[in-house]
Amino acid sequence: MNKEYYGKLIFELSREGRSGAAIPDAGCPDAQIPAALARVHTPELPQADEPTVVRHYTNMSANNFGVDTGFYPLGSCTMKYNPKINEEMCSLPAMASLHPHAPAETTQGALEAYWTLQRALSEIGGMAEFTLNPFSGAHGELTGLMVIRAYHDSWGDHARTKVIVPDSAHGTNPASAAVAGLKVVEVKSLPDGTVDADALEAMLDDSVAAVMMTNPNTAGIFESNVARITDMVHRAGALMYYDGANLNPMLGIARPGDMGFDVMHINLHKTFSTPHGGGGPGSGPVGVRDGLEKFLPNPRVVKNSDGTFGITASGEALGSISATLGNFAVQLRALSYILSLGKEGLAEAGLLATLNANYIKESLRDLYKLPIDRVCKHEFVFDGLADKNSGVTTLDIAKRLLDYGFHAPTIYFPLLFHESLMIEPTETESKETLDCFIKAMRDIAREAAENPEVVKTAPHTTPVSRPDDTAAALNPTVTWKELKNSAG
């Protein structure tokens, strides 16, 4: 492709008088908008014909990396293959054309899909019921914490204002707690990455509303103490929240409900293969144990005694967190995936994800610093290179991997180590892909020792090189108009 032309913004390709769409018109007489209420300045949207638009966005896509392009060893993100059949099933016209206010009698198929997925997730989570309404994992966390507050409020216990979160938690945990009006207290991890249960026990009192945990945690370690922890948290009158970001390796092995968790969310865009779409749309269904269903947000989907499906709302619910039943098309993809894998495929997915992660870990532990030397689950963390003399950082390694045709791992997270480099391969990567990645990581370690400059200045083969983030933040230029003006 011609970079000079196709590297432009659609605004720069705009020419007065072009259009790329023909709008249907029933031919009704003209209605007038009162002049005082009408737009004064015409918005400057691009003017472009269809071929120009198609070529522009197609060429832009070539500057992107996706799961279909290559391997994402991205820790805590579960970048598994997104099956093609799911895309077709979610865009069937008889599903995609339904208005959210259509009467339930005309949307029975859609409601059955919602209900069936809700039941499947309840089985997988070991929970009594799920809502699929939350739009993302973070939205699910917020919804789950609202459920917990509604539960405490329901018997007049308003003093529980704190949430305890491990220092290894995803950043959304404390942020969601803050949005839900709760105060965040951190509990330290032990050197092996697991929660310090004794420290946690000392923090428990009647001001604690909930404890949030990820299991396996963000270091990829299964919290074997979880039963003891849920016990002592329940004895203190608080509830246990399960962050489902790392659910994938537990498929078919153990269920959060059986571990003693009361409320959980699942990221359909992680464990259940719905595409990340460059940042969304996601979906973060929330499950609750028996007795907490009534606090789930409105609206809810129910199966009636006559086998039909309906939509209900309850006064005891925490309220509503969406106008609709959530990102329906994402839910359909996840249902298609669960049916495609079946119970045996789901169980196999977890095992293979864990096998892939341990295989990479064992293949690189001589060259990269392994701060927690244990069997991991779906992911694990290196603390940079074993040999730190070259000054090559985790950021440099991540950028150099781009030259080798791989996405970077998650870097500088969890916050337990200075040079965290967190690797999660998922079950859909072949041994050949993993071997190729392992070779690249070994080559980079060698380059760091022999020719560190090539790593420190990477990447060298990508559409652009390292950007100036400082300049971007100092003088934010976030629209075409600003960019045009700043160029003088």
Partner 1 sequence: MNHRYFPHTPADIAEMLERCGAATPGDLYADVPEQLRLAGEYDLPTSMTEKEVRDYFNRLASANRQLTCFAGGGFYHRYTPAAVPALMSRSEFLTSYTPYQPEISQGTLQYIFEYQSMMAELTGLDVSNASMYDGTTATAEAMMMAVAATRKRNTVLISGSVAPAVRNVAATYARYHGIDLQEIESDNGVTSLDDLKQKLSSGKVAGVILPQPNYFGIIEDLTGFADAIHQAGALMIMNCIASDLAVLRSPGEWGADIAAGDAQSLGMPLSYGGPYLGFLCCTKALIRKMPGRIVGATKDAGGNRTFVLTLQAREQHIRRDKATSNICSNQGLMALHTAIYLSLLGTEGLKEVCTAGANGAHYLADKLTRTGKMRLKYPDRPFLNEFAMSCDFDVDCMLKVCTAHDILGGIKLDNHSILIAVTEMQTIEELDRLAEIVATSNFA
Q: Of residues 101-160, which lie at the interface with partner 1 (CB under 8 A)?
A: 101-103, 105-110, 112-113, 120, 123-124, 126, 135-139, 141-142, 145-146, 149
- Helix orientation angle between 172-179 and 137-154, rounded to the nearest 10 degrees: 50
Residue keyed to tokens 């144990």: 289
**Binding pattern to partner 1, positions 271-300, x when CB under 8 A?**
----xxxxxxxx--------------x---
Is 472 a residue that touches partner 1 (CB under 8 A)?
A: yes
* Sole window of 201-209, 285-293, 313-321, 445-453 interacting with partner 1 (rule: CB under 8 A): 313-321
Of the pair 203, 355, the CB lying nearest partner 1 is at 355
In angstroms, rounded to a whole number, what is the distance separating the alpha carbons of residues 71 and 439?
Answer: 14
Is 243 a residue that touches partner 1 (CB under 8 A)?
A: no
Reading across the β-sheet that carries 420-423, which strands appear in turn? 380-383, 420-423, 410-411
In angstroms, rounded to a whole number, what is the distance separating the alpha carbons of residues 379 and 270?
Answer: 13
Is 247 a residue that touches partner 1 (CB under 8 A)?
A: no
* Sole window of 205-213, 325-333, 417-425, 443-451 interacting with partner 1 (rule: CB under 8 A): 325-333
Is 315 a residue that touches partner 1 (CB under 8 A)?
A: no
Question: Do the beta carbons of residue 137 and residue 283 sit within 8 Å?
Answer: no
Q: How far is the CB of 134 from partner 1 (least distance, A)?
A: 9
Binds partner 1 (CB under 8 A): choice among 304, 312, 451, 465: 465
Q: How far is the CB of 50 from partner 1 (least distance, A)?
A: 6
Please give the structure tokens belonging to residue 406: 């791989």
Q: How far is the CB of 71 from partner 1 (least distance, A)?
A: 12
Is 1 a residue that touches partner 1 (CB under 8 A)?
A: no
Q: How far is the CB of 2 from partner 1 (least distance, A)?
A: 15
Is 478 a residue that touches partner 1 (CB under 8 A)?
A: yes
In angstroms, rounded to a whole number, what is the distance separating the alpha carbons of residues 314 and 300?
Answer: 9
**Binding pattern to partner 1, positions 400-429, x when CB under 8 A?**
--x----xx----x-------------xxx
Of the pair 155, 474, the CB lying nearest partner 1 is at 474
Is 455 a residue that touches partner 1 (CB under 8 A)?
A: no
Is 6 a residue that touches partner 1 (CB under 8 A)?
A: no
* Sole window of 196-204, 234-242, 285-293, 332-340 interacting with partner 1 (rule: CB under 8 A): 332-340
Q: How far is the CB of 361 from partner 1 (least distance, A)?
A: 8
Question: Do the beta carbons of residue 317 and residue 294 sit within 8 Å?
Answer: yes
Long-range contacts of residues 367-373, Cβ cutoff 8 Å, at least 24 apart: 367/441, 367/442, 367/445, 368/421, 368/441, 368/445, 369/419, 371/193, 371/416, 371/417, 372/191, 372/192, 372/193, 372/219, 372/221
CA neighbor of 263 nearest in space, from 282, 240, 244? 240
Q: How far is the CB of 385 from partner 1 (least distance, A)?
A: 20
Binds partner 1 (CB under 8 A): choice among 222, 261, 295, 380: 222
User: What are the residues whose beta carbons fall under 8 Å from the beta carbon of 263, sequence distance 6 or more?
Assistant: 144, 147, 148, 210, 239, 240, 241, 242, 286, 287, 288, 289, 292
Is 389 a residue that touches partner 1 (CB under 8 A)?
A: no
CA neighbor of 329 nearest in space, from 487, 101, 94? 94
Q: How far is the CB of 390 from partner 1 (least distance, A)?
A: 20
Is 47 a residue that touches partner 1 (CB under 8 A)?
A: yes
- Dihedral of CA 371/374/380/385: which sign? positive
Is 312 a residue that touches partner 1 (CB under 8 A)?
A: no
Of the pair 179, 449, the CB lying nearest partner 1 is at 179
The CA distances from residue 48 to 16, 44, 130, 303, in Å, are: 8, 12, 45, 49
Question: Do the beta carbons of residue 262 and residue 126 sit within 8 Å?
Answer: no
In angstroms, rounded to a whole number, what is the distance separating the alpha carbons of residues 345 and 352?
Answer: 10
Tell which positions 179-218 bind partner 1, by CB under 8 A.
179-181, 184
Is 4 a residue that touches partner 1 (CB under 8 A)?
A: no
Of the pair 329, 449, the CB lying nearest partner 1 is at 329
- Which helix (H) or strand (E) element contains residue 446? helix 431-450
Question: Do the beta carbons of residue 347 and residue 333 sit within 8 Å?
Answer: no
Binds partner 1 (CB under 8 A): choice among 191, 306, 464, 488: 464
* Sole window of 171-179, 196-204, 381-389, 441-449 interacting with partner 1 (rule: CB under 8 A): 171-179
Q: How far is the CB of 181 from partner 1 (least distance, A)?
A: 5
Q: How far is the CB of 64 from partner 1 (least distance, A)?
A: 3
Q: Is 287 helix (H, G, I), strand (E, B) or coil?
A: strand
Q: How far is the CB of 128 from partner 1 (least distance, A)?
A: 14
Is 456 a residue that touches partner 1 (CB under 8 A)?
A: no
CA angle 186, 192, 197 (to 5 degrees): 45
Is 368 a residue that touches partner 1 (CB under 8 A)?
A: no
- Helix orientation angle between 394-403 and 431-450, rounded to the nearest 10 degrees: 120
Is 459 a residue that touches partner 1 (CB under 8 A)?
A: yes
Of the pair 126, 371, the CB lying nearest partner 1 is at 126
Q: Is 209 helix (H, G, I), strand (E, B) or coil?
A: strand
